[in-house]
Amino acid sequence: MKPKIIAFYLPQFHPIPENDAWWGKGFTEWTNVKKAKSLFWGHEQPKVPADLGYYDLRIPVVRQQQAKMAKEAGIDAFCYWHYWFGGGKKLLELPFNEVVSSGEPDFPFCLAWANHDWIMKTWNSDVPRSDSRILIKQDYPGEQDYINHFYNNLNAFQDKRYVRIEGKPFFLVYSPQDLPDAAQFIAVWNALAQKHNIRGFYFVAHARNTNNIRSYLDMGFDAVNFSPHRMPFRRMKTVYHKIRRKIFRLPHIVHYAKAIKIFDDPVNAEARVIPTVIPNWDHTPRSGVNGVVMHKSNPELFRNHVNNVFRSIREKEDKNKVVMLKSWNEWGEGNYMEPDMKFGTAYLDVLSQEISKLNDYSV
């Protein structure tokens, strides 16, 4: 059986009043992408979009084109980053709300709750890394807020396009350790789901290292999405690396060929672990020399990575053959599958080809 491939989707490609106030009129993810600079020899910045251009997600045809492109590559769904800060405060909800209300595109979707503070230094490379002022704090007011949060998304959960695992809506939590009582959150939402003829949720915890996987499952999550994109850089915190970076004003640099070997962790084969495919990574448009770069990613190395991930899930039950793709369109992190001017559709083509091989093998 072909794995279900779900791609993270960033909605920050349209202006909002909050970003206008913080960064200037018309700020979107493209603002940082366009002004990015090469910081060392061979550093490929700025990244320039090809087929879709510098799009605006308020335009329905853009969302249609994205879905068509993803479907043709074998991607099964978009997982929209979802911002609910407590007390009804939301951000960047317009694209997803329009997808739900309009019924278009006819392409599966689900939600990933980005339950973290928005920090001044996170979104803009012009802000000093020492500036940790909170723009919006992630709050957890209590059970009633969990209830309000559920009803805010009920129309989406009831939509026939919403991704389901064993009949249950897929819902990912980015920072499960920050929930004051994960068991309460899970119980409240499952009870409300059953009240509305939904079988309960398939709750997924997001984990950046293997140490937390067991504890997240013990909290009551059905599965853990293991996303090791930061692991290669943890090995670069030696005195040597710090001095080298300070003298030469370099970001953290790891060759993609080395990174994908680290990504190939045995934990990916565990039944309740959802592995992640990571095509590339370059955070310098947002973070400058404080960013991290996976250098020299290319489609053929990506093919090796995809094969490793597919191999790791080969023996799993069909219900557990799920892969997250990080990401569809996080251009400010150099982390995307959409076509760019250097490689065109090559990454999408590789993914499509490797999925076709799986289909041929299963016949």
Handedness of CA 122, 178, 230, 241 (dihedral sign): positive
Q: Name which of 340, 248, 258, 253 is nearest 295 in CA terms.
A: 253
Distance CA 33, CA 18 (A): 19
Query: Nearest 5°: phi and psi at 17?
Result: -55, -40
Given a contact cutoff of 8 angstroms between Cβ atoms, the answer to whether 177 and 208 are in contact is no
Highest-pLDDT range among 236-245, 288-297, 316-325:
316-325
Which amino acid belongs to residue 39? L
Full set of structural domains in the chain with CATH: 4-362 (3.20.20.80)
The mean per-residue pLDDT over the stretch 204-216 comes to 95
Report the distance separating Cα 7 and Cα 225, nearest Å: 12
Amino acid at 139: D
Residue 132: predicted pLDDT = 73
Lowest mean pLDDT among 78-87, 154-163, 178-187, 354-363: 354-363
Q: pLDDT (tens digit, 9 = 90+) per residue, 227-263?
A: 988 777 765 555 555 666 666 678 889 999 999 999 9
Check whether 363 has a pLDDT greater than 50. Answer: no
pLDDT digits 0-9 by tens, 191-203? 999 999 999 999 9
